[in-house]
Chain A
Amino acid sequence: MPDQLVYAMEVFLNGLMAGVLYALVALGFVLIYKASGIFNYAQGVMALFAAMTLVGVMEGQVPFSHLINAVLGTKVHHFGWHLPALIGIVSTVVIMVVLAWLVQRIIFKHLVGQEPIILFMATIGLAYFMEGFGDMMWGSEIKKLDVGLPQGINLWIDETTYNIFDYGFFIDNLDIFATIIAAILVGGLVIFSQYTKEGRAMRAVADDHQAALSVGVSLNFIWIMVWSVAGFVALVAGIMWGTKSGVQFSLSLIALKALPVLMLGGFTSIPGAIVGGLIIGVGEKLFEFTVGPLIGGATENWFAYVLALLVLVFRPQGLFGEKIIERV
């Protein structure tokens, strides 16, 4: 087998793994958009906030320590404990649920029935607020997140591929793990939204508020639930990205990578978010590998957007979005 083809296969596999991570972020967007018609600009910041909180809780950081020290003249920094990852994750989930409740209570409860653009603006505000709030709470330095996920080259794949192609593929254990987690998460979400009564109620709310009320669905409850689930997805995404590249501000920018994924997959489709993520992940890696050298590289920055634009021209609703039929 020619070398180039073997390299391309490795690039393809790595693209799939990267795509899974994009899909994880896109999922959070889709969930909230489906249930409330809100495009949640803050999803990326939520992932950052979740990861920061997880590190903070596990390391026993005192929240708002800079503020407390500045006001009271004390010197508190740490509680002096190190919690196991599981306790840290559970605590962070609880904090994300409380956050969901607050977001609903303080912001979106008052914006029921407003134009989508106003709801969108509110999420932009929320994003910048949470960014500052997160920094104030946990400090803005780059943190290391280690919840005990496997990392480094997968030796089994390396050896197996070496025996077949005389060239060992470099596949990160973390990426494999992320793929498995994402698959479980997506399976769970699909079962939840299609087969449980809460899922049915969620779809009902997404479709028509009045009608949902008339069949006994509490809008408030559903919205808090959806923001909580989105917070949980953000946490999972935050853990994966945080473990990979450290918990830092740039984590919140992965939200921008989720945009072309959403355009491609459609804003309303959970499977669409996954497939869209994979296409973008594979597409940008292969494009960089094949065309990149010819035009000076750095194509990964823009390829996803160009691909999404191309799709938009032919299928405005995305590959998997619900078709919009307007009767005239």
Chain B
Amino acid sequence: MNNSDGYVTDDGRTIGGVVMEMKNITLRFGGVTAIKDITFDIREGEIRAIIGPNGAGKSSMLNVVSGFYVPQEGEVFFRGVKRPPVKPFEVARQGIARTFQNIALFEGMSVLDNVMTGRLTQMTAGILSQAIWRGKAEQEEVENREICERVIDFLEIQSIRKTPVSRLPYGLKKRVELARALASEPKLLLLDEPMAGMNVEEKEDMSRFIWMLMMSLGQL
């Protein structure tokens, strides 16, 4: 397969080359085979959905992509390079962000702080510079803050910016989790059951956000 070839959809969007490629993935837990010989790819600018009944292995697949599980067989290619077995935090640093089925937020922190943690991978200023708040650190913090505020505006959660996450209702928590993932400006965004447990309006909102993200290629 040629990585650079894309195609144009019926509504005129350009789909780019392959970003992520999973080849013959097999994942076992002891005697249980969760995923058996699955192959698929994800292209730039497209939404790839994995559907199936409970226990089909959807989350397991996502966990393989994000490095939380290491498959027994098969190969993972990210941006054309074969990926060795890596730790989840290394995957995140490569530009793959994710949300969790059962929300994993920093409950003790405010919404803004949670979103700011999404920028951790992008921060390079030294500890000394950060401590005295001069030069690179100051500039970096301002830039990161700007990006986070843009994400917060986009997801329409300005009004709860300073609220501790633990006080938010379920639907908003899901949204904050998406915000944190977006703040890292990921190359690939993994959403595990983004609408589970939501009411109709919340689902419509979430669909709208995902659709707008796809149309703008994540450029907010």
Where the two chains meet, the residues of A that have a C-beta atom closer than 8 Å to any C-beta of B are 188, 191-192, 195-198, 200-201, 203-204, 206-208, 210-219, 322, 325
Across the interface, do A208 and B104 meet the contact criterion of CB distance under 8 Å?
Answer: yes
- Nearest CB of A to B140, in Å: 9
Q: Quick one: which of A191, A200, A210, A214 has the most chain B CB within 10 A?
A: A214
Q: How far is the CA of A168 from the CA of B98 in the complex (A)?
A: 66
- Nearest CB of B to A227, in Å: 17
Across the interface, do A215 and B120 meet the contact criterion of CB distance under 8 Å?
Answer: yes
Q: How far is the CA of A203 from the CA of B164 in the complex (A)?
A: 14
Q: How far is the CA of A203 from the CA of B106 in the complex (A)?
A: 8
- Nearest CB of B to A317, in Å: 12
Q: For residue B128, which residue of chain A has the nearest CB?
A: A196
Among candidates B66, B106, B131, B184, residue contacting A204 with C-beta atoms closer than 8 Å: B106
> A203-B106, A207-B106, A207-B109 are contacts. A196–B92 as well, Cβ < 8 Å?
no
Q: How would residues 93 to 126 of chain B score, 1 for a CB under 8 Å from any chain A CB and 0 otherwise?
A: 1000110100011111100010011101101010
> A191-B131, A196-B131 are contacts. A203–B109 as well, Cβ < 8 Å?
yes
Q: For residue B95, which residue of chain A has the nearest CB?
A: A216
Across the interface, do B104 and A211 meet the contact criterion of CB distance under 8 Å?
Answer: yes
Q: Is there a chain A Cβ closer than 8 Å to B82's Cβ?
A: no
> A197-B130, A204-B117, A210-B100 are contacts. A216–B108 as well, Cβ < 8 Å?
no
Q: How far is the CA of A195 from the CA of B138 in the complex (A)?
A: 10
Q: How far is the CA of A217 from the CA of B106 in the complex (A)?
A: 13
Across the interface, do B87 and A218 meet the contact criterion of CB distance under 8 Å?
Answer: yes
Given contacts A197-B120, A211-B104, 17 further A-B contacts (CB under 8 A): A196-B127, A198-B130, A200-B116, A204-B109, A206-B108, A207-B108, A210-B68, A211-B106, A213-B68, A213-B87, A213-B89, A213-B92, A215-B118, A216-B92, A217-B117, A218-B89, A322-B108
- Nearest CB of A to B112, in Å: 12
Across the interface, do B89 and A217 meet the contact criterion of CB distance under 8 Å?
Answer: yes
Across the interface, do A195 and B127 meet the contact criterion of CB distance under 8 Å?
Answer: no
Size category of the binding interface on chain B: 20 to 34
Q: Quick one: which of A197, A203, A218, A325 has the most chain B CB within 10 A?
A: A197
Q: Which residues of B are found within 8 Å of A191, using beta-carbon distances?
A: 131
Q: Quick one: which of B88, B116, B123 has the most chain A CB within 10 A?
A: B88
Q: How far is the CA of A245 from the CA of B113 in the complex (A)?
A: 44
- Nearest CB of B to A325, in Å: 7
Q: Is there a chain A Cβ closer than 8 Å to B175's Cβ?
A: no
Q: Is there a chain A Cβ closer than 8 Å to B139's Cβ?
A: no
Q: Which residues of A are found within 8 Å of B100, using beta-carbon distances?
A: 210-211, 214
Q: How far is the CA of A198 from the CA of B128 in the complex (A)?
A: 11
Q: Which residues of B are found within 8 Å of A201, using beta-carbon distances?
A: 117, 120
Q: How far is the CA of A257 from the CA of B82 in the complex (A)?
A: 55
> A210-B100, A214-B97 are contacts. A200–B113 as well, Cβ < 8 Å?
yes
Residue pairs across A and B with Cβ atoms less than 8 A apart, 29 shown, are A192-B131, A195-B130, A195-B131, A196-B127, A196-B130, A197-B123, A198-B127, A200-B113, A203-B106, A203-B113, A204-B117, A207-B105, A208-B107, A210-B100, A210-B104, A211-B100, A211-B105, A212-B106, A212-B117, A213-B89, A213-B92, A214-B97, A215-B117, A216-B90, A216-B120, A216-B184, A218-B87, A219-B89, A325-B166
Q: How far is the CA of A211 from the CA of B115 in the complex (A)?
A: 12
Q: Quick one: which of A203, A206, A215 has the most chain B CB within 10 A?
A: A215
Across the interface, do B180 and A215 meet the contact criterion of CB distance under 8 Å?
Answer: yes
Q: Which residues of B are found within 8 Å of A212, using beta-carbon distances?
A: 89, 106, 117
Q: How far is the CA of A191 from the CA of B125 in the complex (A)?
A: 15
Q: How far is the CA of A207 from the CA of B100 in the complex (A)?
A: 15
Q: Which residues of B are found within 8 Å of A196, using beta-carbon distances?
A: 127, 130-131
Q: For residue A209, which residue of chain B has the nearest CB?
A: B104
Q: Is there a chain A Cβ closer than 8 Å to B133's Cβ?
A: yes
Q: For residue A221, which residue of chain B has the nearest CB?
A: B89
Q: Which residues of B are found within 8 Å of A213, using beta-carbon distances?
A: 68, 87-89, 92
- Nearest CB of B to A69, in Å: 43
Closest 8 CB pairs of A and B: A216-B92, A211-B104, A207-B106, A216-B121, A213-B88, A196-B130, A197-B123, A216-B93
Across the interface, do B106 and A208 meet the contact criterion of CB distance under 8 Å?
Answer: yes
Q: For residue A191, which residue of chain B has the nearest CB?
A: B131
- Nearest CB of B to A311, in Å: 22
- Nearest CB of B to A100, in Å: 17
Q: Which residues of A are found within 8 Å of B127, using beta-carbon distances?
A: 196, 198
Q: Which residues of B are found within 8 Å of A197, using beta-carbon distances?
A: 120, 123, 125, 130
Q: How far is the CA of A214 from the CA of B116 in the complex (A)?
A: 13
Q: Which residues of A are found within 8 Å of B98, using beta-carbon distances?
A: 214
Across the interface, do A214 and B121 meet the contact criterion of CB distance under 8 Å?
Answer: no
Q: For residue A222, which residue of chain B has the nearest CB?
A: B89
Q: Which residues of B are found within 8 Å of A206, using beta-carbon distances?
A: 108
> A197-B125, A208-B106 are contacts. A214–B166 as well, Cβ < 8 Å?
no
Q: For residue B164, which residue of chain A has the nearest CB?
A: A322
Q: Which residues of B are found within 8 Å of A208, using beta-carbon distances?
A: 104-107
